Structure 1
Amino acid sequence: MTSPARKPLRADALRNRERLLQVADEVFASKGTDVSTEEIARAAGVGIGTLFRHFPAKEDLLEAVFVRRLAMVAEQARALVATGDPGEALFGFFSLAVSESSAKNALAEALEEAGVNVRVAGSAVGQEVREALGELLAGAQRAGAVRDDIGVLELQALLVGASRAAQFAGDGPSVRARTLAVTLDGLRPRG
């Protein structure tokens, strides 16, 4: 439900919008996507009218939080590119992305149920994620920490699969940890 181009927001309106996104992300992650917009507005310390000025429908809020999460993933990946050990950077990013995936997956499912195509909604920032992943992957491959026959698409597929496996494992932290370890072992060079 992408809205048409708007005039730039005033500083206070921009702060309110950012606060709403931050709080909505936290509330959706802790209480699920069925939480009411009234509860989100209350938690953000704004009126419901303020929430609806920025996000005319709950789907708009869900989409904005989803896109914001993807942007944060891209930021995290880019930040790790500059760290010392490329292999540790890639494996650390992969582990972090999997551990934070349940909230993102819940947002994506809620958007799909509302009729929003998440691939379209996140396409621009999705490209940023792919580019950052490509940088992480290339660095790890140059360092000899990751197999040479893995590309960004395979890495993304493994991220999605590991995220779904973590979701499937539910409250079994040891199952999640072992599943993630097996996936990461599969990325390492053979022999």
Structure 2
Amino acid sequence: MRMIAGLTALLIALAPHVAAAAESQLPAKGPSAPPTEAPAGGATAPVEKPDVMYDPGLLPDPVRAMRDKILEAALSGDLDKLKIVIQTNEMPPAFSFGEGENDPIAAMKEQSNDGEGREVMAILAEVLEAGYVHVDKGTPQEMYVWPYFAQYPINDLTPAQTIELFKIVTSFEYNEMKEFGAYNFYRVGIAPDGVWHFFVAGD
């Protein structure tokens, strides 16, 4: 009994030291703590999905007006009408990532398999009739972007969303996007003030 009582007393005396040693092995807390490691087994944190909107009536008036002008010109099949929209824009919208033709109309002809630019005009119309997202709110990069797939996890599309996507791309292109990890076909960006900033494809 004396031995048991002695061991008990010893354990009680050592307990604070054992706890302190264990505490020192724990990860630091607060800003200096190392980043949390990814979950075991290759699991990843869920990707945040943006709010997708379809109603043009929810757009700010300048954005809706510009979208309507571009769409009307694209649906007409008349490059001269689209050229007027481009020329009345506050700045020339980007039609490429710095490579290729600088003239937007010439660029559309160059990118169209028909050689007349109408194939790309059709794509432009389909893109603007798709759902859209509002990104980078409150920053200089704030933009309304069509189609929403440009900001949406490509591997998380529902069957219904896949049907929407197939109005713009082929299943072959979709499979390539899934391998790439993101939508990389044509998209349009219009700033809150109604300035058309880009109509580009690629990454």
Which TM bucket (shorter chain)? Answer: under 0.3
Higher helix share: 1
Bigger radius of gyration among the two: 2
TM-score by length of 1: 0.23
Higher strand share: 2
TM-score by length of 2: 0.23
